[in-house]
Amino acid sequence: MIASRARPAPCPFTDRSHPMSRFANISLVNFPTLPPDEPGRLQKTLDRMCAYVADAAQEQSDIVAFPEICNCLDTADPSDVAEPLDGPTVTALSQAARQHELYVVCPLVVSEDGRRYNCAVLIGRKGEIVGVYRKNFPTHGELADGITPGIETPVFETDFGRVGLCICFDLNYWEVGSGLCQNRAELVIWPSMWAGGRMLSKWAMEFGFNMAAVWKEQSTFVDVAGREILAVKREARDRTGRSPVVTARIDLDRRLLHPDYNLENLKALFKRHGPTAAFTQWLKQDCHLVFGSQVPGVSSDQLIEEFGLETMRDYLARVRRDRKAALAAAAEPVYANGQTLAQDGERI
């Protein structure tokens, strides 16, 4: 999981002739904004964004992502420049995606059925809209400006893995990460207006996905174990007016395990397939185990299923279910604040 400019050979999910790992090249663009009063600002911004897509293609990227509300950053009220999904921004980025045959994450304010949403649009290699994420937790300022909250945490199938999206303030809310986890995201791309810091690592460890965070000042990649792979800040003074495309090569087949109940099954795996059948890395202080298949044509998930291994996120979910069942079997507790178990929310 290192920064790289080299593109790996294709590694389809189901073609057993290919070795697993399953790498993807992920590019982020923390580009400087144009002044709000710049004449022709939107078209100049779109021209610049399309040029960045071309740069990402030169990096052999599978996907490139831009910061939150990428087409009108620093506008006093971004909701005033809301566009339909077939408006100029998505249209321009769709053409660039099709021309260069890569996925593009395009965040903008979208107008739909008389409502406005802060969105991240995933565009496919052929320029089609793969899916749309609507920010679940707009800020108070956004709500006051008429932004409608989204209610779903979709995860989208791509030809390199399962991609989820969330936006900026969403990172503060456990239920967003939990929804992406339940929908089995392998990579979550987070367009934002702040860096995210240690919360990126917390989400990665708790929910078991890689994270790619992009805002106008910094791009950051975090692996499934919560370790920072790469973080690049934009130079405060960029004479060219352009930022570098920051690319990391990430293995989306890696999984995070807890040692409990897995060690004997791992021994059985190595006994059957040999000592080099899987990559394992013990993170003692975190009490985590990073796991990845090295059996040609067999994914980590296939080995996990074959040998009854349990990922960290599935283990935590099982403990949560068992705890809830144990509490339900006993007399229902009443907390000091008067709440009962049923009122205590989804985290129980």
Tokens of 256: 């995070």
In the chain, alpha helices (H): 41-58, 88-100, 140-144, 174-182, 198-207, 263-273, 300-306, 312-329
- pLDDT tens per residue across all 348 residues of the chain: 434 333 333 333 333 334 567 999 999 998 777 788 888 889 999 999 999 999 999 999 999 999 999 888 666 565 568 999 999 999 999 999 999 999 999 999 999 999 999 999 999 999 999 999 999 999 999 999 999 999 999 999 999 999 999 999 999 999 999 999 999 999 999 999 999 999 999 999 999 999 999 998 899 999 999 999 999 887 655 556 667 799 999 999 999 999 999 999 999 999 999 999 999 999 999 999 999 999 999 999 999 999 999 999 999 999 999 999 998 888 666 666 666 655 555 444
Angstrom distances, CA of residue 347 to CA of 82, 182, 252: 35, 13, 27
pLDDT at 6: 36
pLDDT at 338: 63
pLDDT at 5: 37
pLDDT at 293: 97
Tokens of 76: 């006093």
pLDDT at 19: 52
pLDDT at 76: 59
Angstrom distances, CA of residue 190 to CA of 122, 170, 218: 12, 9, 12
Residues of the chain with CATH 3.60.110.10: 2-251
Those residues whose C-beta lies under 8 Å from the C-beta of residue 262, and which sit 6 or more positions away, are 289, 309, 310
Nearest Cα to Cα of residue 179 among 134, 239, 242, 126: 134
The whole-angstrom separation of Cα 341 and Cα 348 is 8
Class (C level, CATH) for 2-251: alpha beta
